[in-house]
Structure 1
């Protein structure tokens, strides 16, 4: 568990650096609130997931690449992390403190953003508890006798872990006060969708039972839409 906590602390430090370096100040109460929520939800979720799938958490605590991972998948996962979980906070800090490109979201919208941010991380944790094979890279895991995950949120959409990303990225930008940063989330979300489609192709071709599961659970991210 110490390794997992260290990884979560590192992730929070990266986000904090992006926020405060872009802002040029530590006197940003909304950034501190966002970091507090991030740490509480991720640490609580890690404890809950560790009770059922400690091996998955330990692997996710490593670098987000794997020797068996294809080059395109490495590029996509690093692209999502760089443009989304670093780029969006950087642009929010620049916009709120220096650029002022658009008016700030009103308080109800900002608070809705913070709630969406927290719910996004909760959804990721729920997905991890339901999927013993949710590692960071797209690859089959014969060493774990991988099977199709179809419990919990996987009963409603095929990729609930990815479905959390719009809530996290757009929600954080709205809470921080930047419509521009919220709009910039379109780039990492586009990369995420491309990666999702590549993952679907691999799973349909190589994971027994996935085709039947995809027929049964029709939607990828949002029930009734896609």
Structure 2
């Protein structure tokens, strides 16, 4: 079910974004490392991906089938987790649609005349792409019926906040507007 939901959400989002910024999708399909990327961003990106998108599902599986750290959420809470998960991915797709520079790598994209995004969801929240991650990770933990995994999502979210702060400092220096 997880793979099916991911496939649908990501495929629909890719089609929507591809109509506006096909080059962005090509860039995001590459490995999330670039020669212009600060080394701290590389470390934080790998840490967020490892603890969030590998760690949270692993904790959920271990908790549900082995550890039983906390009682499982009620089916309604698990369903809310699925909604949060899907909303988070939908928010990411809206962010991609509004920001042609939303690559996985923190760097100034001189080749595409990098500018600050301030339309679409960026007119409402400065970092919608990052705002989606807590929804995705906590929702994933709840959907997979593990409060322990939902609580464990604090680790990748904290790492993501560190990455966000570094990205903001980097881009403020590079893109004063």
Q: Distance in 2 between matches of 1:107 and 1:174?
A: 10
Q: Distance in 1 between matches of 2:2 and 2:81?
A: 10
Aligned twin of 2:21: 53
Per the TM alignment, residue 208 of structure 1 is displaced from its structure 2 partner at its CA by: 3.2
Question: Which has the higher relative contact order, 1 or 2, with Cα contacts under 8 A spaced 6 or more apart?
Answer: 2
CA-to-aligned-CA distance 1:40-95 (integer Å, 9 cap, x gap): 00011001101110111101101011111111100000000000000000010000
Aligned twin of 1:142: 110
CA contact 1:92–1:176 (8 Å) conserved in 2: yes
Q: Distance in 2 between matches of 1:146 and 1:198?
A: 18
List alignment gaps of at least 5 residues for structure 2. Answer: none
Structural RMSD (CA): 0.7
Q: Distance in 2 between matches of 1:70 and 1:147?
A: 19
List alignment gaps of at least 5 residues for structure 1. Answer: 1-32, 210-226
2:162 is equivalent to residue 197 of structure 1: no
Report the number of matched residues. 177
**Structure 1 residue runs of 4+, over 3 Å off?**
none
Normalising by structure 1, we get a TM-score of: 0.77
Give the alignment of 1:32-181 within 5 angstroms.
Answer: 33-181=1-149
CA-to-aligned-CA distance 1:16-57 (integer Å, 9 cap, x gap): xxxxxxxxxxxxxxxxx2221111000110011011101111
Normalising by structure 2, we get a TM-score of: 0.98
